[in-house]
């Protein structure tokens, strides 16, 4: 292993901004005069409270999240939300819901929902905003015909990659490890009126009401991951927010997903422009040689 950083095109965990990693490195041992690392501090102490509150408020600024929405920092990955959503949004396993299946991830979400709801006529509509494996991304989001219907989106692979009108959604959720931090943190943005009594069988760790009432501190949260997400949010804000623009030399992780093969370059926010330029020129050379 060399000391040089590679252009990492992995789908997730994915590359993080160098400035963020360097900042974390400088604070790793002692966080800002606290005498300890973020990994060691109590999640109930004032230092961690300031970290999680700043992470939330920076994310609210970035996405202009309206006040009537809660932001939850959870664990278990986006995959856990596939079950949490029907458990929380449906009163019983007989409640009808709609899923649009555009690829592997929405298919997984749909299959999980079958255990806890009856996927079909519209009560809520679930979409995957960007199918990471199949490369299918919504450019505009569907507006359910029924005004009471709730739009739910898995934004795992395009979260914070561009502005989004949060008010169009009932729930947005995303694993952090592609655009905004390390794995281990799952972000849920949910309209408060949807935080109600979950189905009786819902495990406490999957209940949105519990996490909202406890400001994501019901149990020990993924403290260090939340801290890292906070650094990324701060970095994005410093760069001016979610502006435009959101890599076999030094380019790694270009192989397609194990289920479909081919080639895939994941270009999340933290991929530097130089990495993309290098990939483009590599592909042009390759085409010229093999056409």
Q: What is the closest distance, in whole angstroms, from the C-beta atom of residue 178 to ligand PLP in the complex?
A: 7
Number of residues binding to ligand PLP, judged by CB under 6 A:
12
Catalytic residue among 31, 58, 98, 154: 154
| 184 near ligand PLP, rule: CB under 6 A | no
Alpha carbon 290 to its chain centroid, in Å, reads 38
Using CA atoms of 176, 179, 183, 185 in order, give the dihedral in degrees to the nearest 10: -20
Judged by CB, which is closer to ligand PLP: 132, or 199?
132
Sign, Cα dihedral of 70, 76, 80, 86: negative
Is 175 an interacting residue with respect to ligand PLP (CB under 6 A)?
A: yes
If binding is defined by CB under 6 A, does position 105 make contact with ligand PLP?
Answer: yes
Here the tokens at position 88 are 């929380």
- Measured between alpha carbons, how far is 272 from 249 in angstroms, rounded to an integer? 16
Catalytic residue among 31, 98, 105, 235: 105
Q: How many CB atoms lie within 10 A of CB 5?
A: 11
Active site residue 178: yes
Helices and strands (H and E) in the chain: how many: 7, 11
Pairwise CA distance, residues 168 & 151, whole Å: 7
* 119 touches ligand PLP (CB under 6 A): no
Instruction: Please select the residue that binds ligand PLP; options are 38, 77, 180, 226, rule is CB under 6 A.
Output: 77
Binding of ligand PLP at residue 79 (CB under 6 A)? yes
Token pair 């490195």 is found at 25
Q: Which is nearer to ligand PLP, 156 or 269 (CB)?
A: 156
Radius of gyration for the alpha carbons in the chain, expressed in angstroms and rounded: 20
Q: Is 154 a catalytic residue?
A: yes
Of 62-70, 75-83, 94-102, 204-212, the window that binds ligand PLP (rule: CB under 6 A) is: 75-83
On the 0-12 / 13-18 / 19+ scale of CB atoms within 10 A, 26 is: exposed
* Cα gap 146→139, rounded to integer Å: 21
Shortest separation between residue 154's beta carbon and ligand PLP, angstroms: 5
Q: Counting contacts by CB under 6 A, is residue 269 touching ligand PLP?
A: no
Question: What SS3 class is residue 189?
Answer: strand
Contact 123, 147 (CB under 8 A): no
Retrieve residue 101's tokens. Answer: 């299946």
Q: Which stretch binds ligand PLP (CB under 6 A): 26-34, 71-79, 239-247, 260-268?
A: 71-79
Q: How far is the CB of 78 from ligand PLP (least distance, A)?
A: 4
For ligand PLP, which is the closer residue by CB, 31 or 224? 224
Work out how close the CB of 251 gets to ligand PLP at its nearest, in angstroms, rounded to a whole number.
20
Which residues sit at the interface with ligand PLP, rule CB under 6 A? 11-12, 77-79, 105, 128, 132, 154, 156-157, 175
């Amino acid at each position: 292993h060399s000391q040089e950083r590679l252009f990492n095109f992995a789908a997730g965990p994915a590359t993080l901004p160098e400035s963020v990693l360097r900042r974390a490195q400088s604070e790793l041992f002692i966080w800002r005069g606290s005498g300890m690392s973020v990994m060691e501090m109590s999640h109930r102490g004032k230092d961690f409270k300031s970290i999680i509150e700043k992470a939330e408020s920076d994310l609210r600024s970035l996405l202009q999240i309206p006040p009537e929405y809660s932001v939850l920092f959870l664990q278990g990955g986006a995959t856990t939300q596939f079950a949490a959503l029907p458990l929380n949004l449906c009163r019983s396993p007989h409640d009808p819901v709609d899923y649009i299946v555009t690829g592997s991830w929405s298919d997984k979400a749909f299959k999980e929902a079958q255990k806890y709801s009856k996927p079909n006529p519209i009560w809520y509509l679930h979409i995957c905003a960007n199918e990471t494996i199949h490369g299918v991304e919504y450019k505009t989001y569907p507006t359910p015909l029924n005004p009471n219907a709730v739009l739910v989106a898995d934004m795992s692979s395009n979260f914070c990659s561009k502005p989004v009108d949060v008010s169009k959604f009932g729930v947005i959720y995303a694993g952090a490890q592609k655009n905004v931090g390390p794995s281990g943190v799952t972000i849920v943005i949910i309209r408060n009126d949807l935080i109600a009594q979950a189905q009786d069988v819902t495990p406490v760790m999957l209940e949105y009401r519990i996490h909202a009432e406890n400001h994501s501190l019901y149990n020990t949260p993924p403290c260090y991951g939340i801290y890292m997400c906070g650094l990324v949010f701060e970095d994005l804000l410093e760069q001016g927010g979610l502006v435009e623009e959101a890599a076999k030399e030094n380019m790694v992780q270009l192989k397609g997903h194990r289920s479909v093969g081919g080639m895939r370059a994941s270009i999340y926010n933290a991929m530097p422009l130089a990495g993309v330029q290098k990939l483009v020129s590599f592909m042009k050379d390759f085409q010229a040689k093999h056409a």
